[in-house]
Amino acid sequence: MSARLTIALDAMGGDNAPTAVVRGANMALRRNPNLEFVFYGRESDVTPQLNRLKRLKKVARVVHTDDVVDSTERASVALRSGRKSSMRLAINAVKDGEADACVSAGNTGALMAMAKFVLKTVPGIDRPAMASFFPTLRGESVMLDLGANVACDANNLVEFTVMGNAFARSVLGLEAPTYGLLNVGSEEQKGHEELREAAALLRGVELPGHFYGFVEGDDIATGTTDVVVTDGFSGNIALKTAEGTVKLYTEFLRRTFRSSPLAQLGYLLAKPAMRKLRKRVDPRRYNGAVLLGLNGIAVKSHGGSDALGFAHAVSLAVDLARHKFIDTIRTDIDKLDRRTSAPAQAAAV
């Protein structure tokens, strides 16, 4: 039996808070019975909802705060004035060792800023990155950065690779993951300077698995590599483009089945199978982006997600905590540091 874990929840974050948060926690509890929850938020809003869910109530407690970070608030403002906010208290719980991970569906920028400020980056990591996994033809892959860093240099990309590699090993359970850099062509001379530089650096770094080189946009869904590394701008564009394309295809499919009585009948027959397909491409199943590179686990749920989506974000937090993911990153980054900083140290002597 796995050890009991405590998850801190920002009960007030997201469009459907606190309902989606409370019900999502309840769904996550059904899948992972060894969980405890601390809900941070308005007691008068949260407790009545908890009272309806007996099993959840037994393993949950509510820490009251009136303060909530607004979804439109600037990160810098939230950081200064949101010290008593539900989001901040959930992050603090991780820092203070009261929780093994925290989850919020609130303001992304504020969560990143607060998590970075409170939890601090792992020594040797310059900037944390947002990562998430997604379906491919071969199974599942992880991509990062998804938007934490709009501009990245070669060293940032190398650090992201180390973190993505650790994610693939711990969360996806791959012993020797393949990893690649997202680019506009697979040839060595393609793309931005920092990509070429990162590729050269990665060829000299020893990580478990195999460095594939450059991958392109269509390789993401093909699953050419288990880890796709990119700057936060391109990663965010790729992620949202894929989401939009799935929505478009689903709508076209719906229209197709409605286009003739025969097609409608066909749909009825194929319905149980189609339900499985819908589940497979359901973005809620891939909900939950994690801010990698911090001394603690902070997971961002999509702001618009419902209980099911939130439950998946909680499960991701549980996976990360259970696999001692941060220890893996610390060990790998240490190796990296020794390699790349060795000549500089020699020169300093």
Q: Point out which span in 19-27, 50-58, 80-88, 266-274 binds its own copies (CB under 8 A).
A: 266-274
| CA of residue 325 relative to chain centroid, distance | 13
How far is 81 from 76, CA to CA, in rounded Å? 9
Token pair belonging to 92: 């603090």
Determine, following the binding rule CB under 8 A, whether residue 240 of this chain makes contact with its own copies.
Answer: yes
Subset of 133-152 contacting its own copies (CB under 8 A):
135-137, 147, 150-151
Among 44, 66, 84, 281, binds its own copies (CB under 8 A): 281
Among 32, 71, 186, 236, binds its own copies (CB under 8 A): 236
Q: Point out which span in 15-23, 61-69, 165-173, 243-251 binds its own copies (CB under 8 A).
A: 243-251
Residues 6+ apart with CB under 8 A from 125: 159, 163, 293, 329, 333
* DSSP class per residue in 209-277: SEEEEEE-HHHHHHTSSSEEE--HHHHHHHHHHHHHHHHHHHHHHHHHHHSSHHHHHHHHHHHHHHHHH
Nearer to its own copies, 118 or 181 (CB): 181
Among 27, 221, 308, 322, binds its own copies (CB under 8 A): 221
Q: How many residues bind its own copies (CB under 8 A)?
A: 60
Q: Point out which span in 1-9, 38-46, 50-58, 228-236 binds its own copies (CB under 8 A).
A: 228-236
Q: Point out which span in 80-88, 164-172, 213-221, 294-302 binds its own copies (CB under 8 A).
A: 213-221
Among 105, 114, 152, 242, binds its own copies (CB under 8 A): 242
In b/e form, how buried is each residue of 131-141, taking b as 16+ CB within 10 angstroms?
bbbbbbeeebb
How far is 28 from 169, CA to CA, in rounded Å? 23
Among 33, 244, 334, 338, binds its own copies (CB under 8 A): 244
Residue 151's Cβ-count burial label (10 Å; 0-12, 13-18, 19+) is exposed
- Which of 189-193's residues contact partners 24+ apart within 8 Å by CB, and which partners? 190/214
Shortest distance (Å) from residue 229 CB to its own copies: 13
Nearer to its own copies, 48 or 139 (CB): 139
Residues 6+ apart with CB under 8 A from 60: 25, 36, 37, 38, 39, 50
Shortest distance (Å) from residue 12 CB to its own copies: 21
For its own copies, what does the binding mask look like between residues 61 and 80, x meaning CB under 8 A?
-------------x------
Closest listed residue to residue 306, CA positions, set 283, 276, 275: 283
Among 25, 79, 162, 182, binds its own copies (CB under 8 A): 182
Nearer to its own copies, 150 or 200 (CB): 150
Determine, following the binding rule CB under 8 A, whether residue 266 of this chain makes contact with its own copies.
Answer: yes
Shortest distance (Å) from residue 62 CB to its own copies: 32
Nearer to its own copies, 135 or 209 (CB): 135
Nearer to its own copies, 189 or 345 (CB): 189
- Which segments of the chain does DSSP mark as H helices, in order? 19-31, 43-51, 54-58, 75-81, 86-95, 108-119, 154-170, 193-203, 217-222, 232-258, 261-281, 307-322, 325-348
Among 43, 98, 140, 216, binds its own copies (CB under 8 A): 216
Residues in touch with its own copies (CB under 8 A): 74, 135-137, 147, 150-151, 182, 184, 189, 191-192, 216-222, 230, 232-234, 236-249, 251-253, 256-257, 259-260, 262-263, 265-274, 276-277, 280-281
